[in-house]
Each structure stands twice: as C-alpha cells, then as structure tokens.
Structure 1
Amino acid sequence: MSARETPVKEVHVAVAVIVRDGRVLIARRPDHVHQGGLLEFPGGKVEPGETVQAALVREIAEETGLHVPAGSLEPVIGIRHDYGDKRVFLDVWETSAAEGEARGCEGQPVEWLTSEQLRDEDFPAANRPIIRALRLPRQLAITGSENGLEPALAHLQEGLSAARPPLVLLRAPALSPLAYRELAANALPVCEKTGATLIVHGGPEVFRAIPGAHGLHLPWREAAKLSARPVPEDVWLGVSCHDRQEIDHATAIGADYVTLGPVQPTESHPGAPTLGWSVFADLVSEAVLPVFALGGLSPGDLREARQRGGQGIAGIRFWWPQS
C-alpha cells in the first residue's frame, strides 16, 4: 500500500433475521443508497461502543416498528465481504420473538417471505450465505457405516422414523460403487416419505449416477481436484474440511456449506488430533459460508456450536441406530 492510499475501513453491520410463522421479514433498499433496489434483511451499522444486540433492537424498532427482546437474539452467521468500494462485516442474528406489526417506517416496502422464496439475485452478493444458512437445518445427519445394502436400509428407515432429520448425508464407505448406487436408489424414496432431503457422498460422478439426489457432499480428496462447482445451483454442495485453506477452496468452488472437524475426540479415531472449540471458532470467523461442527459431538453440543459461529452439528451417533 502506498503512502497516498487510505485503507478501506470495515463497516460492522448488524443484520436481523426476524422469523414469524415460518416466514422471514424482508425489506427493499431505497434506490439512492448502496446496492439500491435490492432486497435486504433489516439492520444497520453498529455504532461505536454499541453491542450488536443493542444495535439490532434499535435498528429494528426504527425501521420496522417491531420490538425485539435483546435476549431473544441468537447468532446465525458472520460474513466479511468486499464490494470493491465498500467492505462490510455482516453480523447476522435471528429472533422469533419480535412484538408488534411490521411496517416500513422509512418508507421502504416490507414483506414476509419463506426461505425458499429468497433468491440470490434479489439480494446484495454478501447475502448468499445468509440465505443458505436459513435453508439449512441445525443438524446434518450422516449415515453410519454398514457392510451390506439390507442392514443399511433397515438402519436408515429406523433412524428416519425415530429422529426425522430434515437433511441426510448418505455415507457408506464400506460399500462398492455399484452397491452404493443401489443403496442410494433405494434410500431416495425412503427419505421422501419422511420429508428428508438426501445428499450423496463422493465425487461428481456419484451425483451424475444417482438421478433424484438433492445434492453432493465432496470428501476433501475430491474437492481438491476441482476448480469450479460440479453440480447445478439448485442442489446442495458440501465439502469436508479440516483447516482454513480447505474452507477457502470450498468457497472458491461454490460450496453451499462445509463440515469442519474433528472438533472433539472420536471413538472411530482415538488419539487423532482435534481442533477444539477455540480453533473451530477462529476458523468459522473467517469463513463466508455455513459451517457444521463435526467429530465427537452430541445434541448437547449444538448450542456450543451455534455460540461459536457454526451452523450447527454434523454426525452419526445423534440419530443413527446403534448396532
């Protein structure tokens, strides 16, 4: 940087995801402001000496007339984005406890939309990860390792019936490629009956071989080979990551989410190095997409993962029937 150049200051912006009856409150930006005409979540700049929660309570009241109890706000995701002429840190928090009737107090149109109605092109570019975070559940259910098609299907049916996870990653490393494709073909209708979305595991060829799959999760060895997104935009793309460089690569190839771990010691890999919650939080703070904590976790760790900036937890034991 030359002596004449002035560093671009990062603007800390508090963003509110206000949920009511399964819908999210959205406003349209005035035409004359930065990114004018696009949709946005309510919020605004955090003033010096102000907490993000206080900023949200103030901004929501000023913009929409709603009252939000500060204690009801929970973290969703933090996103750093450089627009070229402006650099922002979007500090996104969610509440379902807003009181009153929403209105555009500054003349802006406001409306309640479902997460499925939120389209990337209608929002500023930095909002893409927020939309992904709202559509993703808090738990990513991963299938356990089974040695045959029949036991895998039986356990899948049992797990779906008991836990009813909304998103299932079909991982079966013990099966041959042919057996895995057969398992996936049988698993799709089983998942559809309970409303679960099925994501297949492996390289791009696996996704192409399984019509009807709702997404692809890439092991790191497969993601490392790619320079672009290998699946359509309307399905999920996840990547297994272990450090900052891998998260950056997943972002570069257009991943919608990543798993990051192992956070805690696991029974399957005793003595293996772990990240711990502190390192997990540091890595998440620099990520610009939703991150699931993975490795040695239980439902009791969900709140910790959320407080550390994660989307939630991913794993097997919290839903998969034990043999």
Structure 2
Amino acid sequence: MTVREAQVKEIHVAVAVIIRDERVLIARRPDHVHQGGLLEFPGGKVEPGESVQAALVREIAEETGLKVPEASLEPVIGIRHDYGDKRVFLDVWATRAAEGEPEGCEGQPVEWLDPDRLRDQDFPAANRPIIRALRLPAQLAITGTAASAGETIERLRSGLAGASQALVVLRAPAMTGPDYRQLAAAAVPVCEAAGAGLIVHGAPEVFYGTPGACGLHLPWREAAKQAERPIPVSAWLGVSCHDATEIDQAVAIGADYVTLGPVKPTLSHPEEPTMGWEAFGTLVSGAPVPVFGLGGLTLADLPEARQQGGQGIAGISFWWPEN
C-alpha cells in the first residue's frame, strides 16, 4: 500500500436498485456536490455499527419517502473505485418491494427509467458496472456438444423454444475458424427469432466476422493477449476467469462481465479441482464487474450464486437439450 492509499480512507456506500414494473428509480445529484449533475441510484454512507441493509432502508426513506422491507433486499454487486481524491466501496442491493410513491425529499429530481435507457456518460464512473448488472440476465446460456453444425442449430432452436434465454454464448471448441464462423452465421437468426442475443466465443476476429453478433466471449488464452478492449463498447465483452489475477486482466481490458469457476465438479471434468461457494464469494467481492458462476451449476444454484454477490449462473445443463 502506498502512502497516498494509506491516507485516503475508503467510504462504504450503500446503493439501492429499486425496481418496479421492470423500471429502475434514478435520481440526479445536486450541482453543488461531488459529481454534481450526474444521475445516480439512491443510497448513502453506511454509518459506524450499521448494517448495509439498515443503511439502505434509512437512506431510501430519507431520500425518496419509500418504505423498503429489509428482508426484500438482495445483493447485486460490490464495486471499489478510486476517484483520486476519494475511494469508495459501493455495496449495491436490489429490491422489488418498495412501498409508496417516490419523491425527491432532498430536492433532487427522481424518475423511473428502463435499464436500456441508462447511459454510462450520465453516471459517475463507479456506477457503470451497476448498469451492466441491470442489463445482463441472471442466466448465461452456453451451447453444448452436438455431432454436427446442423445438429447444433437444431438443438439451439429447441433449447431456445423450451426456455427463455436473453443471451447465448456459442461455444464449439472442436470447430475450426471457418467452420465456426459459418455456424455462428446460421445461429444469429435463430437467436434473433427467439429474442435472444448471440455472443460468439473465441478471438476478436470471430466477432468482426459475424454480422449480427451482440458480443464476444474471450476464453482466457485470448483475453491474456489483449492490452485493451478489442471490440466496441456497444457490444458485450465477456472473459472466462479462474482466479483474481485473471479477473484483474478482464477488468483492465474493459470486460462487461466474467464467468468464474469451476464452482462445482462437472460431468465432463469430474476430477478437476473446484473452488466452492466460499472462494467464489470471496473473488466476487473483489470484482468490479458482474460475475457468473460456472461449473456444475443448475437452476437450483442460482439463489446461492446471487447470495454470494454473483450476477447469476452460466452453463449448459440448465437449458441445452442433450437428446
């Protein structure tokens, strides 16, 4: 720790994502305060001896007049950010059970906004991972094995028909570059017809060679080669990670999310070492990006992943038709 880091105290801030009718309550910061004029999520400092949940209940009531049952709060993401003159830890929790009609009790304008209308430039930099978390689903679907490209497409169509998925990572490690790009080109309209976005898997050139792809998922071997974000900010960028060092690299190149695992043993690699939920939660607490748990997880594991601060789960078995 440097002298400056030792002198700058970290401020613990409780942040509320209040959701109603799939819209989020947003306020505008007064012009005279730090980061004045920008939009923000309701919240404030956690007082000494106060739990983050109690702080949220208090702050929400003071700022908006809404009453929030403490038990309704669920963890979303934790973000550490250094502004230079101050360091903050944003402890972000969500509720769908706020009671009453909101008002700007401190004179600040408040409004309900669709998450798709939230723009990075309108918020303080530390808030931007929250926007990612709100836009990402709780389930990141990954394609499984198939005997051929044609069978992959049929299983993709069947899987999307059987369960609603917002994002699909097209993983086909056995395919060469041209074959994979051909598969991806065929998968894009299938996903679009089901209301899902297709994220291609591999090197950056795969993304640029797949019109209609909504993002790129980098396996670690590709992420390690990057010195900066390799695709536009308008597309999703994900990275496969296994430890804190890899998460740091993903953050450095501007990843919007990471997958982290294996959390549990998998059918394909039952002897591979796993990290378990405790280690997963520890790594998530230090990650300033949404994190999907990966490895041997089913929909039954989703509540635990969320409780550990994760975005949700990523995987194959919860949606991919094997037969």
**When the two structures are superposed, what TM-score results if normalisation uses the length of structure 2?**
0.98
Secondary structure of 1:144's match?
coil
Q: 1:195 deviation in Å?
A: 0.5
1:206 is aligned to 2:206: yes
Amino acid at match of 1:217: H
Q: 1:147 deviation in Å?
A: 3.0
Q: 1:208 deviation in Å?
A: 1.0
Give the aligned partner of residue 228 of structure 1.
Answer: 228
Cα deviation, 1:238-273, whole Å, max 9, x if unaligned, reads: 000011000000000000000001011111112111
Cα deviation, 1:59-83, whole Å, max 9, x if unaligned, reads: 0011001111111111100001111
Give the aligned partner of residue 273 of structure 1.
Answer: 273
Q: Percent identity?
A: 73
Contact 1:141 1:314 in 2 (8 A): yes
Give the aligned partner of residue 69 of structure 1.
Answer: 69
Q: 1:6 deviation in Å?
A: 5.8
Amino acid at match of 1:80: R
Cα deviation, 1:264-313, whole Å, max 9, x if unaligned, reads: 11111121111111111111111110000000000000011111111100
Give the aligned partner of residue 134 of structure 1.
Answer: 134
Cα deviation, 1:105-160, whole Å, max 9, x if unaligned, reads: 00001111111111111100001110000000000000002231111011001100
Aligned residues: 323
1:46 is aligned to 2:46: yes
Cα deviation, 1:193-244, whole Å, max 9, x if unaligned, reads: 1110110000011111111110000000001011010100000000000110
CA RMSD of aligned residues (A): 1.3
Q: Within 2, Cα distance between the matches of 1:4 and 1:155?
A: 55
Give the aligned partner of residue 7 of structure 2.
Answer: 7
Contact 1:147 1:174 in 2 (8 A): no
Q: Kindly tell me: are residues 104 and 247 of structure 1, through their superposed partners in 2, closer, same or farther at Cα, counting changes over 3 Å? A: same
**When the two structures are superposed, what TM-score results if normalisation uses the length of structure 1?**
0.98
Amino acid at match of 1:57: V
Give the aligned partner of residue 147 of structure 1.
Answer: 147
Give the aligned partner of residue 259 of structure 1.
Answer: 259
Q: Within 2, Cα distance between the matches of 1:133 and 1:224?
A: 24
Q: Kindly tell me: are residues 85 and 177 of structure 1, through their superposed partners in 2, closer, same or farther at Cα, counting changes over 3 Å? A: same
Secondary structure of 1:306's match?
helix
Q: Kindly tell me: are residues 151 and 3 of structure 1, through their superposed partners in 2, closer, same or farther at Cα, counting changes over 3 Å? A: closer
Q: 1:177 deviation in Å?
A: 1.8
Secondary structure of 2:178's match?
helix
Cα deviation, 1:25-52, whole Å, max 9, x if unaligned, reads: 0000011111111100000011111111
Give the aligned partner of residue 196 of structure 2.
Answer: 196
Q: Kindly tell me: are residues 318 and 86 of structure 1, through their superposed partners in 2, closer, same or farther at Cα, counting changes over 3 Å? A: same
Amino acid at match of 1:279: A
1:36 is aligned to 2:36: yes
Secondary structure of 1:159's match?
helix
Q: 1:85 deviation in Å?
A: 0.7
Gaps of 5+ in 2: none
Q: Kindly tell me: are residues 195 and 2 of structure 1, through their superposed partners in 2, closer, same or farther at Cα, counting changes over 3 Å? A: closer
Q: 1:186 deviation in Å?
A: 1.1
Q: Within 2, Cα distance between the matches of 1:144 and 1:2?
A: 47
